[in-house]
Chain A
Amino acid sequence: MATAENGSSEPKFRWIGTRPVRPDGVDKVRGRANYGADHALPGMLWGKVLRSPYAHARIVSIDTSGALAMEGVHAVVTAEDLPEIAPEESKIGEGPTNYRDLSRNVMARDKVLYHGHAVAAVAASSPAVADRALAHIEVEYEVLPHVLDGDDAQSPDAPLLHDDLYTKGVEPAPERPSNVASRVEMGRGDPERGLAAADFVVERSFRTKAVHQGYIEPHAVVATCGEDGRATVWASSQGHFMIRAYCAKLLGMEQSQIKVVPAEIGGGFGGKTTVYLEPLAIVLSSKSGRPVKMVMSREEVFRATGPASATRIELRMGCTRDGRITGAHARLEYEAGAFPGSPVGAAVMTLFAPYDIDARAEGYDIVVNKPKVAAYRAPGAPMAAFAVESVVDELAAKCGIDPIEFRLNNASKEGVQSTFGPKFKRIGNVETLEAARAHPHWKAPLAPNQGRGVASGFWFNGGMQSSATVQVADDGTVCVVSGNPDIGGSRASLAMMAAEEFGIDIERVDPQIADTSSVGYNDLTGGSRVTFATGMAVVEACRDAVRQLRERAAAIWGVEIDGVEWADGEARPTKGGGELEPLTLRDIALKAARTGGPITGRASLTARGVGMAFGVHICDVEVDPETGKVDVVRYTAVQDAGRAIHPSYVEGQMQGGVAQGVGWALNEEYLYDDDGRMENPGFLDYRVPVASDLPMIDTVIVEVPNPGHPYGVRGVGEVPIVPPIPAVANAVASATGIRMTELPLSPPRVLAAIDESRG
């Protein structure tokens, strides 16, 4: 446990901050770990989904008889097989999830709203039979005009995706339906007055394209549903409790009728925080009486699962000659895809967070005939940061002030009222900027055609609900049971916190991720919350167990519990408690049966005290002036992690966020043809960076401990994808003198801008 030494305020830890081998590492390296598609059951069928060939059409009829008549076909599912969720029931339950929309996204009802929208599903004896069966389902469509772009969708004569969608957040409530689902507005002070008083004002319009999370593992599920209506589901996701809740709501089942067993997850990045196949697999299993396995192809992942929003952002920001930002205003339009729910609200809240400024932002959530967006690391924030950090860079240049100094001049810090409302608690914004400024990278020389950019980024991080159990075995080892799929090394971090609490070797801690029936409820793995919130539950559960261990030692010694202290994995008499031989964890565990039974620590909590986090990235690029190709040649990411439990996984999160952000900045984009078909649904033409596209990404972990967590943890998984886009764009501007405001900064686009600037 943490102890202060020599009066120093820096706690001394045995495990926190070290880099042990991760507990799940060997299985993953050796190929023994079970991912979503690895599970199989006897008698299992294969499920496949028939998808819409149109971007927008009315479903006139579906005839499944041809498929059902085929040998080897056991069941067919359409929207008819799912309960219809009435509009008034769409928001039942917690959170912003609209179950009516979710149901219609999982299986189209009445209309298809994007190319690739699920229309029917079959279960058959083999994948080949299932594929052939899809061709025998006859769907009659009445093709409707479609709209693919957020600008076009707002036009008065645009085709309406939902004739019952009225813009929310506008008073008085509109009388006509629209593709604009909602408007949100946030702000602080009177930015217009500040803008009027500014010496310099920069006004820019930015555009970004839809991008995919790009997880390597496609969605995969096995479901088996018995005659008693109870289902067991094995799936790769960011939250098996989420799958249980969503499937129950979409299928009209009780949550207690569904058990979800988590598989290892091959990447999620927010994209696996919802359901696509799972409800269909349950219904197919229920109808066929056999287990059903469904695995998406990469093409299906691109055509039908959530990308991040395409956006348009208009931004005005002004400052005084001496570099004080006087005001800013932003208008953000985010495409939601086929159903409302882009992360524009988060964008509106985060975009000005690094700055202590008067600012206002209004955001619009717009539906278009493309797949429904899903969360993607710091949802909504990277695109907004592209706009803000680009303009901040321009203002700093106009003032002739170093861009890090400029950011420090305007930096938000503890006690400052954020532009989204609450006052900041202890945050590390200034410390990360100072660490970036002090890094040798910031002053390193540049070669010809090279440029350097810097950008800040912010994310709230999440708390939410977590549960954990720790079980002490009679050999003195500890099993830590929690319920969050491990997408970023959280198992290692949880085990380390447990080892620290018990004062035992990390090898004696076995972290397990239990199914929905074997551990208390856990909200999903997301919001950078697991090491923070579930970590808090693990720490509390450990402290619960340690208290019991002290009670047992007290009973063995015949003293009061206050006479027993716990340190270095053993119970010791407190000072003046006499000459008692310490009892190790193993000693006490061996006697558990005779001192009161098994020793199990528990905790369930709603985590408060989330530590908001900031990062600052420095990027060097080299631009080929004749081809427009941008190479990232050096990159340094600085981030406040609160306290890094396992620094390697903090660094891994930082490097991964940078890799994804650089891809987003340079080459990733959904390309659509005029009919609304994605033209690049594969990794050949949807260009995520390959390893050789990236330099070594240097990392600097700043530690401004979060007072709201027992070890000072802040979430680390999302912040690092926020700064890369503007860091790259600012570096391109520095290399070329050209301010690029439209993503991606692909070679054709950069060359066109260079050629245009030359006249």
Chain B
Amino acid sequence: MARVFLTGSLRALAGSTGEAIEIPARDLRELLTRLEERIPDIRRRVDEGLSIAIDGDVISDPLLETLEPDSEVHFLPAIQGGRG
């Protein structure tokens, strides 16, 4: 059961009031599929400029990443140009 943290407009879209929502998922692909039930265009948003951090590591290509039962997943703004 990964804990998913959303911020800003995503949180409103997901209908979440708390800091985190709990989503059962073994990997990120599954998590995004489940999240689509709440935010139908979440994949497009990720493609267009969201980064995903799993347990504190910002992952550049996270789809194959497995999740631990207590993993924390954060959706963050992509660090555009953040490659100084």
Find out whether A and B make contact in their complex, taking CB atoms under 8 A apart as touching.
yes
Which of A's residues lie within 8 Å of B, judged by CB?
91, 94-96, 168-171, 182-187, 238, 269-270, 273, 341-343, 345-346, 348-349, 362-363, 373-380, 420-425, 460, 462-465, 523-524, 526-529, 606, 608-610, 717-718
Given A94-B61, A421-B76, do A270 and B83 touch, yes or no (CB 8 Å)? yes
Contact between chains at B81 and A343 (CB < 8 Å): yes
A376 to B80, CA, bound (A): 11
15 contacts between A and B (CB under 8 A): A94-B60, A95-B60, A168-B48, A169-B8, A341-B81, A342-B81, A348-B77, A349-B79, A362-B8, A378-B84, A423-B56, A463-B57, A464-B60, A526-B84, A608-B59
B83 and A524: CB pair below 8 A?
Answer: yes
How far is A69 from B25 in the complex, measured between Cα atoms in Å? 66
- Whole-angstrom distance between the Cβ of A555 and the nearest chain B Cβ: 36
In the bound complex, how far is the Cα of B78 from the Cα of A270, in angstroms? 16
Chain B residues whose C-beta falls within 8 Å of the C-beta of A185 in the assembled complex: 7-9
Determine if B49 is an interface residue (Cβ-Cβ < 8 Å). yes
Residues in chain B near residue A171, CB distance under 8 A: 9, 12-13
* A301→B47 CA distance, assembly (Å): 31
Interface residues of B in 51-84 (CB under 8 A from A): 53, 55-61, 72, 74, 76-84
Residues of B within 8 A of A421 (CB): 5, 7, 53, 74, 76
Chain A min CB distance to B60 (Å): 5
CB-CB under 8 A from B53, the residues of chain A are 421-422
A375 to B7, CA, bound (A): 25
Kindly report which residue of chain A lies nearest to residue B20, judged by CB atoms: A421
For chain B, the count of residues having a C-beta within 8 Å of the partner chain is: 28
The answer on a CB contact under 8 Å between A91 and B76 is no
Interface centre among B53, B56, B77 (most CB of A within 10 A): B77
Across the interface, do B79 and A345 meet the contact criterion of CB distance under 8 Å? yes
Q: Least Cβ distance of B22 to chain A in Å?
A: 16
**New contact pairs (7) apart from A96-B80, A269-B84, A527-B83, CB-CB < 8 Å:** A270-B83, A341-B80, A342-B80, A375-B81, A377-B84, A462-B82, A523-B83
Cβ-defined partner of B47 (8 Å) among A91, A187, A424: A91
Question: Could you say which residues of chain A place their CB within 8 Å of the CB of B55?
Answer: 422
Residue of A nearest to B64 (CB): A606
**Closest CB pairs A-B (n = 10):** A526-B83, A345-B77, A185-B8, A421-B74, A270-B84, A375-B81, A422-B56, A377-B84, A96-B78, A184-B77
For residue A90, which residue of chain B has the nearest CB?
A: B48
Among B48, B77, B84, point to the contact of A375 (Cβ < 8 A): B84
A273 touches B56 (CB 8 A): no
Whether A422 and B9, one on each chain, are in contact in the complex, defined by CB atoms closer than 8 angstroms, is: no
A186 to B74, CA, bound (A): 11
Contacts of B80 in A (CB 8 A): 96, 341-343, 345-346, 379
Contacting residue for B60 out of A424, A465, A528, CB 8 A = A465
Bound-complex Cα distance A606 to B61 (A):
9
**Given A420-B76, A460-B58, A273 and B81 touching (CB < 8 A)?**
yes
B78, A425: Cβ atoms closer than 8 Å: no
- Inter-chain contacts of B84 with A (CB < 8 A): 269-270, 273, 375-379, 526-528, 717-718
A194, chain B: closest CB distance, angstroms: 16
Task: Give A463 to B61 CA distance when docked, in angstroms.
Answer: 11
Query: Which chain B residues border A346 with CB–CB below 8 Å?
Result: 77, 79-82
A452 to chain B, nearest CB (A): 28
CA distance A183 to B72 in the complex (A): 24
Report how far A610 CA is from B53 CA in the complex, Å: 12
Q: Are B79 and A460 in contact (CB under 8 A)?
A: yes
**Contact residues in B for A420 (Cβ distance below 8 Å):** 74, 76
Nearest residue, chain A, Cβ from B77: A345
Query: Given A362, A363, A379, which contacts B81 in the complex, CB threshold below 8 Å?
Result: A379
Closest Cβ of chain B: how far from A92's Cβ, in Å?
9
Contacts of A528 in B (CB 8 A): 84
Residue of A whose beta carbon sits closest to that of B83? A526
Contacts of A186 in B (CB 8 A): 7-8, 76-77
Most buried by B among A464, A465, A529: A464
A375 near B56 (CB under 8 angstroms)? no
Q: Is the CB of A610 within 8 A of B5?
A: no
Which interface residue of B7, B53, B78, B82 has the most chain A CB atoms within 10 A? B82
Instruction: Check A349/B83 contact, CB under 8 A, given A169-B9, A171-B12.
Output: no
> Which of chain B's residues have a CB closer than 8 A to the CB of A96?
48-49, 78, 80
Complexed CA–CA distance, A269 and B57 (Å): 24
In the complex, what residues of B have CB within 8 A of residue A609's CB? 57
In angstroms, Cα B8 to Cα A375, docked, is 25
Assembled-state Cα–Cα distance A273/B47 (Å) = 20
By a CB distance below 8 angstroms, the chain A residues around B8 are: 169, 183-186, 362
CA distance A57 to B12 in the complex (A): 40
Nearest Cβ on chain A to B9's Cβ, whole angstroms: 5
User: Chain B contacts of A168 at CB under 8 A?
Assistant: 48-49
Residues on A with C-beta less than 8 A from B57 are 463, 608-610
Contacts of B59 in A (CB 8 A): 606, 608
A460 and B66 alpha carbons, distance in the complex (Å)? 22
Q: Would you give the shortest CB distance from A327 to chain B, in whole angstroms?
A: 16
Convert B34-51 into 0s and 1s, putting 1 for each residue whose CB lies closer than 8 angstroms to a CB of A.
000000000000011100
A95 to B46, CA, bound (A): 10
Write the nearest CB–CB distance from B84 to chain A, whole angstroms.
Answer: 4
**Chain A nearest CB: distance from B35 CB in Å?**
16
Chain B residue with Cβ nearest A423: B56
**A271, closest chain B residue (CB):** B84
Q: How far is the CA of A169 from the CA of B5 in the complex (A)?
A: 16
- Please give, as numbers and ranges, the residues of chain B lying within 8 Å of A343 by CB-CB distance: 79-82
Query: How far is the CB of A219 from the nearest CB of chain B, in Å?
Result: 17
A749: shortest Cβ distance to chain B, in Å?
A: 27
Q: Which residues of B are found within 8 Å of A425, using beta-carbon distances? A: 56
Find residues 10-26 in chain B having any chain A CB closer than 8 Å to their own CB.
Answer: 12-13
User: What's the Cα separation between A185 and B6 when bound, in Å?
Assistant: 10
Rounded to whole angstroms, the CA-CA distance of A377 and B55 in the bound complex is 25
Report yes or no: A273 in contact with B9, Cβ–Cβ below 8 A. Answer: no
Task: Return B7 CB to nearest CB of chain A, in Å.
Answer: 5
B49, closest chain A residue (CB): A96
Within the complex, which residue of A238, A424, A606 is in contact with B56, where a contact is CB–CB below 8 Å? A424
Q: CB-CB < 8 A to B12: which residues of A? A: 171
Which residue of chain A has the shortest Cβ distance to B13 in the bound complex? A171
Q: A residues within 8 A CB of B61? A: 94, 606
Q: Are A460 and B60 in contact (CB under 8 A)?
A: no
Residue picked from A373, A379, A424, A610, most chain B C-beta under 10 Å: A379
Q: Whole-angstrom distance between the alpha carbons of A184 and B49 in the complex?
A: 11
Are A379 and B82 in contact (CB-based, < 8 A)?
yes
Chain B residues near A376 (CB-CB < 8 A): 84
By a CB distance below 8 angstroms, the chain B residues around A342 are 80-81
What residues of A have a CB within 8 angstroms of the CB of B48 in the complex? 91, 96, 168
Nearest Cβ in chain B — how far from A357, in angstroms?
15
Contacts of A460 in B (CB 8 A): 58, 79, 82
A606→B55 CA distance, assembly (Å): 16
Q: Which residue of A lies closest to B57 (CB)?
A: A608
Contacts of B74 in A (CB 8 A): 420-422
Q: Complex: how many Å from CA A187 to CA B8?
A: 9
| Chain A residue contacts of B49, Cβ below 8 A | 96, 168, 182, 345
Question: In chain B, what residue has the closest Cβ to A425?
Answer: B56
Question: Which residues of A lie under 8 Å from residue B76 when comparing CB positions?
Answer: 186, 345, 349, 420-421
